[in-house]
Chain A
Amino acid sequence: MSHHIVEFKDVSFCYPDGTEALKGINFRITHGESVGVVGANGAGKSTLLQHMNGYLMPTSGTVTIGDLSLTKRTRREIRKKVGIVFQNPDDQLFMPTVFDDVAFGPLNLGMDEASVRERVCEALNRVNSLALQDKPPHHLSCGQKSAVAIASVMAMEPDILAMDEPAANLDPKSRRSLIVLLKTFRHSKIIASHDLDLILDVCERCIVIGDGVVVADGPSAEILSNRTLLEENSLELPLSLQRR
């Protein structure tokens, strides 16, 4: 299977206030790859993720997901293929109970009740949160919320999973179980994060973004051990590679 590709060709994006966030981004991610996107604050990581399912449309250049190129017309189809997990789970979990929230996507896909229930149970089981299904999101801890947020996206069975800072606000133990969880997913994954150790653990490939362009693209082990490259982009060596 080679159809779960993500391809950005000369993608530029300019916000309405004139800020140029992306200035010609090029990369191609093939099926089953997991890719980390790193860069300084304001380098354009979040803007890039928002192009992945058409929340933002490139000012110039093309985004291709699978065999569809991103346009206003294909946007709905592409949203079924790409699942995005947001940085703040409170923004993602908008339904009154965990079950309703995870069921929201499958119901919108027009599935019948029995299969929706099945999908929800399966997705919650995968993130070990089946016991939480009747709880309202405001009764959950941060770690539980982020697990449920992942389940709510997984329930749509996307081909590609994109995550924005998945480990932000998690305590070390929850972060560790998130990493273990992410490693079990066979999807193409794109993870934007400042948590370089997480990227090193989960992703075999890493893209460094600086000032709206791709600065480096290669194997994580190589890029994340290049001190000068990282420091030029307001990053530093992952803690696990630092010698004290």
Chain B
Amino acid sequence: MTFDEQYFDIGRLDRLSYRETCVHRLDPRAKVIAVMLFLLTVISFPKYEIVALAPFFLFPVLLLTVGEIPVRFIIKKIIVVSPFAIFIGIFNPLLDARTFAVIPGFVVSAGWVSFFSILLKFTLTISAALLLIATTSFPGVCHALRRLGFPALFVSQLLFLYRYLFVLMEEAMRIIRARDMRSFGSRGTGRKVFVRIIGILFLRTVDRAERIYYAMLSRGFQGDIPSLKRSRMALTDLAFLSMMIAYLSIFRFFPVTEGIGRVAQELLG
């Protein structure tokens, strides 16, 4: 069991990107732009919005089904990071206790509505980001960013983060295991030792960085990580992007869900 499998399982997320579906085949740049627009649209909604957010689930659900990504896996990942969102919104119901709506039977305060809205936005954005990686792979996203004109320094940092995160974490785990084997009870596990461990880890990382840099120089590194042009923007990519823009603007600027509700009410009434 390596560190990766135990905690993040980014490896599995990556392996999902080896599949061949029409979502996987889209140009990474098109997907990156689409997801960015999606994120911007979702977070641009006002604080108390719930109903209008509902149609935006269409995008992740489509990616999930067409891309043949297992739903459970994505839901699990969302739950793992959910505490961040929950802690951001948890005090809203206490701080913002104004009455927002009265559903027959009980009163809904504004705080609960905004809390729920935060959770919805969080689920939408995180699932979109996870699905982007699951259908494109992390390096694919990085190369797409580079080709979209993001600074070389930024993109190479991301690539190195992805490559060395696990190496570093496993190193830390080895040091901690070595400490635990020779410390008995509370002795040796105190703060002083911990600070020194962090120091050692830092020194080892600096050493490693130097060796990596040497390896890069040996292979002709000149400041920018080169990458092959793997794909071209095809007609399908442009079609995908324009559909995405149309979908996002319709549901952002027209109250479609409300409209549907009204029509349904009239039909029933």
Contacts and interface: CB of A to CB of B under 8 A. Distances in A.
Interface of A: 50, 53, 55, 76, 79-80, 83-84, 86, 88, 90-92, 94-97, 100, 103-105, 107-109, 113, 116-117, 134, 136-139, 152-153, 156
A108 B228 CA distance: 11
Given A95-B159, A96-B163, A104 B11 contact: no
B210 to A, nearest CB: 9
Interface string B212-251: 1011111111100111110000000000000000000000
A138 B169 CA distance: 12
Nearest to B138: A96
Contacts of B4: 138
B208 A91 contact: yes
Max count, chain A CB within 10 A of own CB: residue among B4, B14, B219: B219
B215 A92 contact: yes
Interface residues of B, number: 32
B94 to A, nearest CB: 44
The interface residues of chain A, by DSSP majority, are classed as: helix
A117 B228 contact: yes
Contact of B228 (A55, A91, A116, A156): A116
B218 A79 contact: yes
A76 B220 contact: yes
Contacts of A88: 211
Interface string B1-35: 01010000001001000100000000000000000
Nearest to B211: A91
B167 interface: yes
Interface of B: 2, 4, 11, 14, 18, 138-139, 142, 159-160, 162-164, 166-167, 208, 211-212, 214-222, 225-229
Contact of A113 (B215, B222, B228): B228
Given A138-B11, A138-B163, A138-B166, A105 B219 contact: yes
A95 B139 CA distance: 9
Contact of A91 (B2, B11, B215, B226): B215
Contacts of A83: 218
A156 B142 CA distance: 24
Contacts of B229: 113
